Amino acid sequence: MDCLFCKIINGEIPSTKIYEDDKVLVFKDINPIAPIHWLIIPKHHLTSVQDVTSENSSIVAYIFEVVSKLTKDNGIESYRIITNCGDDVGQTVKHLHFHLLAGTKMGWSIE
């Protein structure tokens, strides 16, 4: 499948890994918009939140378990999680991913 994040998962494209296990990969965003900008992705390809069903939703809970553990382990006390779903809100990679942003004060605005 021609998916950038699947290629990162299988090692065809390099990434700066923060954490990996059999179900998820966490790596640094190549174009960070905050001092800490990580991407958390399931290893199983899902296009976006729109692909989440009662059959596979346990991965979403698991991703948040990983977020909780990793932020604690790295001393990150304040952070924001974002997932873009669809073209209008700026989803550029069609593989479900959660942005973890931290390391600066943030406002709350939509352009």
Write out the residues near Zn ion by the rule CB under 5 A.
3, 5-6, 45, 95
Catalytic residues: 97
- Choosing from 55, 92, 109, 111, the residue that interacts with ligand AMP (CB under 6 A) is 92
- Closest among 81, 78, 85, 79 to 99, alpha carbons compared: 81
Map residue 82 onto helix, strand or coil: strand
Residue 101 interacts with ligand AMP (CB under 6 A): yes or no:
no
Pairwise CA distance, residues 56 & 29, whole Å:
25
Q: Is 13 in the site for ligand AMP (CB under 6 A)?
A: yes
Phi-psi region of 37 (alpha: psi -120 to 50; beta: other; left: phi over 0): beta
Q: Which does 91 bind (CB under 5 to 8 A by kind): Zn ion, ligand AMP, none?
A: ligand AMP
Residue 11 as a binder of ligand AMP (CB under 6 A): the answer is no
Cα separation of 11 and 80, whole Å? 27
Q: Which of residues 52-91 bind ligand AMP (CB under 6 A)?
A: 84, 90-91
